[in-house]
Every structure is written in C-alpha cells, then in structure tokens.
Structure 1
Amino acid sequence: MTMGDLQASGHATTNFGNGFFMSGRGHNPYGTEQPDCNPTTRSSQFDFGVPARLNTWVPRYNEFLHPHGYTLDNLRAHMPFPLVIELQKLAISRDTSVLQLVRTAKLVAVKLGLTDASEWIDQELNGYDNLSNLPSYRILTGECRAFNPFNGFWMHVQFPDAQFQRICSEGRVGQSLGSMESILVGDAGHAFLNFAYEQQQILQKLFQEQTKFAIRVTKGQLEGIFDAVRNLVLDWSLRLEQAGVLGENMSFTLNEKQEAKPVSQQFFIQNAGVVGNVTDNATVTNNQTVHGSLSVDRVFDLVSQAKSALSGLPSEMAAKASEILNEIDRESHCPTPNEGKLRVALTSLRTVCEGTTGNLVASGITAAVTALLT
C-alpha cells in the first residue's frame, strides 16, 4: 500500500554533535588558548591529519612545534580514531542524532566506493521513491481511521473482513529521516499516514463516505525506524572492523576497499532488502493445493467488484487482469461451470495482482481470490 506524507505537529531539530576532524590551524589538543600556528608574518598552514607528511618532515615539525609545548608523539596521540571506529562511537552514543550518524556512514561508504551502502544511505536521507521495495523496519502496522469533519475526530473504521482490514492498516513509510524528526520532537503521541488519491477514492466508494482516510501510527513506531537505522549502521561498522577495514587517517587502503565490498553487499541484502543494481529479478511463487467447492455466486461478486476497480491498477496489470476476469466471467455463466478452469483462472488473477506490492486494489483482489479458493 503506497502511503503519502506523515502528518503531526512539532518542529524539526538536528543535533550535529561534535565532529572528529582536527584543524591544523589554531587548534590546541589540550583545550587551552593557543596563538596562531604561524610563527612568522607570512600565511602558512599545516595539516596535522597526514602522518606520512609528518614523517617526512619530522625535524622541521618538531622544531616548529616545540616552542608551543607540542611534540610529534602527543600530536599523534590526539589524532582521531580510525574512521570506522569513529562511526561505531557515534552509533552507540545517544547524544548523536541519527541524521549525523547516517551522514557519517555516507562518508565511509563513498570513501570505500560501496554503491550498495551508498544507495541505502541516500534513500534514508532523501526518502524512498519505490514504496514497494522498502526495508521491513519501514513497514508499520497501524490503524485505519476516517476523519469526521463535524467533530474533528478520527473515527475507527469497520471493515467487511479481517484480511481487508490488515491490508488497509499497513503503512509504508518512505519519507526521509529528516522530514520525520519534527514528529519525534513534537508533543503528539501519534501521526497519520495519508493514502494516495486513488486509494482514497477506492475507500470512499467502498464505504460510501466522502471523507478522508488515513493510517494512524504511534510515535514509538516511528522511533523504531530511527533505532533500526542506528542498529544497522552499528552492525555494518562492526562487520567492516572484523574484515580489517578501519580507515586510518580518514582514508582507506586499496586492500580495505576490496575487503569491504563483499562484506557490505551481503550485509545490506540481508538486512535492508535488495539494493543496488540487480539484473535478475527474483520471483516468489506461492503454490498451494485447495480443496472444497467454489461458490459461483461469490465468483460473480468478485468479478463484478474487481472490474469496477480496475482503474486503480497500473495500466499493464489492469489489461492482464481484465482479460482473466472476462475468462472467469464467461466460464462462470456456463450452464455447468468447470470448477478446474475457474480455479486456474483465479490463481492466474492472483498471480498477476501479486506482482505489484503496495497497490490497494491489487492487494484487495489478491485477498478476495485467496478467500474464495480456501
């Protein structure tokens, strides 16, 4: 089910915390006030973050630094941790916002040249365009509500069956982390996921009410998305460390980049869904044997309702479904309908509709066919 924007009151805040970059100009690792690092009148800066350069010019650096109370050894002692270790420190600190954590993770991913990790990170930062391929932690079970314009309350919705209720209560959250932060800092204990326009029309037609429908989710469920992202970044950084990928001095060696690729690819496929460029599309087929007699009257009802809702399907799927529905209609109107043919056609209809995840009409037809065949 494709969801629209989240709605709730509040204002977004972002805690950028403390970075782990050390400037080479005017920086004192002891925290005391320090004069400019330039001992002469001409402008000059030194980059304390490149040990190779320090090792080449050790005598000149020590001669320059000694009057200010520094040595090469204590400079190295105050250099940042390896980049992957810094990422772990940010992940376990509650003082670090998830946005800052994910941006730091992007720094690691880009430096390592990891397209799978970068794609996941970009989608978390910018939002997911394809709501049918969301990570599981972004699929929430809420409660479908209808807005009462007379008293301003969101009312409970009574569905004709439990399966349809489950379909209409599944919220797919594709918004960026930044756009959801305002909800978490607001006073409201819940938020509403808007249905797409086409889905609103279907629900209004079903309930014969010209009102607004939405899925109500709790703030705790949205916080769960942020916690899941934090945990994923931590687990990923631990996998990198186990593979010997650290990122000393804000850079990675060629060997580290080679070791990181298989580790990251496997990790994100297992934990964040299939990301990156996938040339072979995997198809999952649900095969089951069904016993019992079909109700022709129920078949009539299914065909009638499905045909009236075909406009809510993607055009290619609607064409396939329409052809199968016509076949079912013809067979069901025979003096003695062939139950085997009807079952085959109904199964084909369900297979077609299962091909599009997140579409309310497709989900409804799938549920109705499954109920009919069982």
Structure 2
Amino acid sequence: MPALVRELVNTVFDNSVSTTNLLRRALVVACRLEIPELAEWLRKELNGYGENETGVPEYRRVQGQLMADTPRGLLPVRIEFSATNKFLTERFMGQSIPELIQITQISTDIYIRPQFDDEQMIIQKIFTPSGIYGHPKVKLSSLDLTRIIETVRTKVLEWALDLESKGILGENMTFTQEEKQIVQEQHYHFGNVSGSQIQIESNGSTQTQPQTSGDTASLTALIQLLDDALQQGRVTEEHRAELEAELATLQAQAKSPKPKWTIIKETASSLRGILENAVGSVLASQALPYVAALSR
C-alpha cells in the first residue's frame, strides 16, 4: 500500500482526479497529521469562504470588465480613472472549489454584480456622465477561475513535497508520533500569502507583517471636505464628474469593513492631479495635505 504523502503527490499529476477529490485526500492527510490550520484552509476551499469573511486568500482576487446591461444589450463601460475602475471591477471569489469548477464548465464568460454599497449612486456618477444607462455588471473570464483552481492544486503539491522532503510519508496509511512531532515544528500559511508559493516557518522564527492599515483620519477629513465642496458648488462643471467619481471610490472604501488601502492610495494620487489643475486654489490648499498623507 503506497504511503499517504507519496500517493497525494501522484494524485496531483493525475488529471482524472478532480481538484475537489484532491482536496478531500489532502484533508485526510492534514487531519491525521493533526495540522488544524491546514485542515481549516482545505475545508474552506471545499466548502467556500463566508460572504463577509475576512482573510479570503489573495490568489482568489480577480479583475474583470465593467459592463452596462442596457436595452441595446451588454455594452462595455470605459472608466478613465484607474483607481475607480479597479475598485469597481475587482472581486474576491469566495465560492468553493466545486462551485468554481462547475461555473467554468458552464460558460467561458461569467457576469457578476459589482460590490457597490450604493448602486444607484454609482449609476448616477459614472454611467450617466458617460452617456450609458443600465445596470452594472462585471464580466469575468473562466480563465480567471481556472487560475484559482490550479493555484490551489499547486499549493497542495508544494505542501506534500515539503512533507516528503522531511521524511514524513505516512506509511501504511498512518503517521508515526515522530512524523507528527516534526510537523508540529512547522507553521503552514496558505490564506493570505500572495503568489503560488506556500509559506513555511519553523518554531522560533520571526516575521515582519506588512502594514495593512492607513490614515483613517485623513481619509475621513478628505471625504468630508470634497463632499462639502461639491454640495456648495465650489467645483467647476467641467471637472465635477471626475471629482465625484473619485469621491465615490473613497466613500465606498471608507464604508467597507476591509478598506483596500492600495486603491485609496491610487485614488489619492489621481485626486492630486485634479486638485492641482482643475479646481480652485482654496480647495486645493485645504485638500492636498490629506491627499499627501494618503498617497504615502
């Protein structure tokens, strides 16, 4: 009878075995080795991530094309501001691997609703100025979902190969206490690691975590300042739509339980050009310090 880990490695290369069944076999190995963090990741891949759950892996981020569902059919919507376009079309796909596989088998083009806090506000501020009237949709390619599926498959392979390199094999369908002890000295991280490589730490190692928070005070103050300026008519009609679109992006991020600071930074950079070249000097002098703080 083949060793559990070697069998798992061979299964990855067997195209007749679906990624769903591969994950189930990997779950058996993780549970018998008593690795709770890995078992949790495998269960989420099999069952899906909660709709409002934090910590959906970075490899599940996709970006599509913004479309308008109009009486003339689906039409592409061109957004001039990269930060706004990114906010509207990015999505973390939290569906289970079995669901993603099923979706890829149905169609090559997938349409989803954008994650708007206030869809009517977005329609008014972005679709109306562009001359397109319709409900927003984001068009994804099945290749984006296939990439997620294949990334998960590769992560299982990398983990199994790491076990094999340490002599953890699972002969006779079980693991020895010595094998379990070796595993307990490792920490496997799958959830929030970018790219295809798994992250492995030994006990006693230290890591510096990237900063994910930003200047919420500057963000709140900038939103209030821009909103007041628009409400009081202190922005020219020529550039009003630009400012409204960028403000809508900042407002949506501020309301989000997990604001994306990279998008806020890009939006602030875009706002800098608008403020310096298109609006009154008083508003620019008031807003630019906040923009500078958010652009760092």
Tell whether the structures are fold-level matches, with TM greater than 0.5.
yes
CA 1:128–1:246 in 2, change beyond 3 Å: closer, same or farther?
Answer: same
- For 2:25 and 2:157, the matched residues in 1 are separated by 12
Tell me the alpha carbon deviations over residues 147-206 of structure 1, each in whole angstroms, 9 at most, x when there is no partner.
12x24x3210121423322332223211111122222222x2111222235253342232
Tell me the alpha carbon deviations over residues 199-244 of structure 1, each in whole angstroms, 9 at most, x when there is no partner.
5334223224763222211112211111111111111100011111
Match of 2:88 in 1: 168
Alignment of 1:135-214 (within 5 A): 135-148=57-70, 150-151=71-72, 153-186=73-106, 188-196=107-115, 198=117, 200-206=119-125, 207-208=127-128, 211-214=134-137
Alpha-carbon offset, residue 304 of structure 1:
10
Tell me the alpha carbon deviations over residues 74-121 of structure 1, each in whole angstroms, 9 at most, x when there is no partner.
xxxxxx211111111111100000000001111111111112211211
Paired letter, 2:141: T
Match of 1:117 in 2: 38
Match of 1:233 in 2: 156
Paired letter, 2:42: I
TM-score (norm 2): 0.66
Paired letter, 2:290: A
Secondary structure, counterpart of 1:195 in structure 2: coil
Are the counterparts in 1 of residues 56 and 192 from structure 2 also a CA contact under 8 Å?
Answer: no
Alpha-carbon offset, residue 133 of structure 1:
3.1
TM-score (norm 1): 0.54
Are the counterparts in 2 of residues 91 and 234 from structure 1 also a CA contact under 8 Å?
Answer: yes
Are the counterparts in 2 of residues 171 and 193 from structure 1 also a CA contact under 8 Å?
Answer: no
Question: 1:105 aligned to 2:26?
Answer: yes
Paired letter, 1:194: R
Give the share of equivalent positions with the same residue, in percent.
23
Match of 1:249 in 2: 172
Secondary structure, counterpart of 2:155 in structure 1: helix
Alpha-carbon offset, residue 338 of structure 1:
9.4
Q: Provide structure 2 residue ranges, at least 5 long, that are not aligned to the other structure.
A: 201-207, 216-225, 260-279
Paired letter, 1:81: P
CA 1:143–1:199 in 2, change beyond 3 Å: closer, same or farther?
Answer: farther
Are the counterparts in 2 of residues 236 and 267 from structure 1 also a CA contact under 8 Å?
Answer: no
Are the counterparts in 1 of residues 68 and 74 from structure 2 also a CA contact under 8 Å?
Answer: yes
Paired letter, 1:93: D
Paired letter, 1:283: Q
Match of 2:144 in 1: 221
Are the counterparts in 2 of residues 195 and 213 from structure 1 also a CA contact under 8 Å?
Answer: yes
- For 1:310 and 1:268, the matched residues in 2 are separated by 28
Are the counterparts in 2 of residues 117 and 268 from structure 1 also a CA contact under 8 Å?
Answer: no
CA 1:198–1:210 in 2, change beyond 3 Å: closer, same or farther?
Answer: farther
CA 1:162–1:315 in 2, change beyond 3 Å: closer, same or farther?
Answer: closer
- For 2:190 and 2:124, the matched residues in 1 are separated by 44
Question: 1:87 aligned to 2:8?
Answer: yes
- For 1:309 and 1:269, the matched residues in 2 are separated by 24
Q: Provide structure 1 residue ranges, at least 5 long, that are not aligned to the other structure.
A: 1-79, 275-279, 288-295, 319-333, 351-369
Task: Give the total of aligned pairs.
Answer: 242
Question: 1:283 aligned to 2:206?
Answer: no
Larger radius of gyration: 1
Secondary structure, counterpart of 1:133 in structure 2: coil
CA 1:84–1:199 in 2, change beyond 3 Å: closer, same or farther?
Answer: farther
- For 1:316 and 1:268, the matched residues in 2 are separated by 18
Are the counterparts in 2 of residues 243 and 260 from structure 1 also a CA contact under 8 Å?
Answer: no
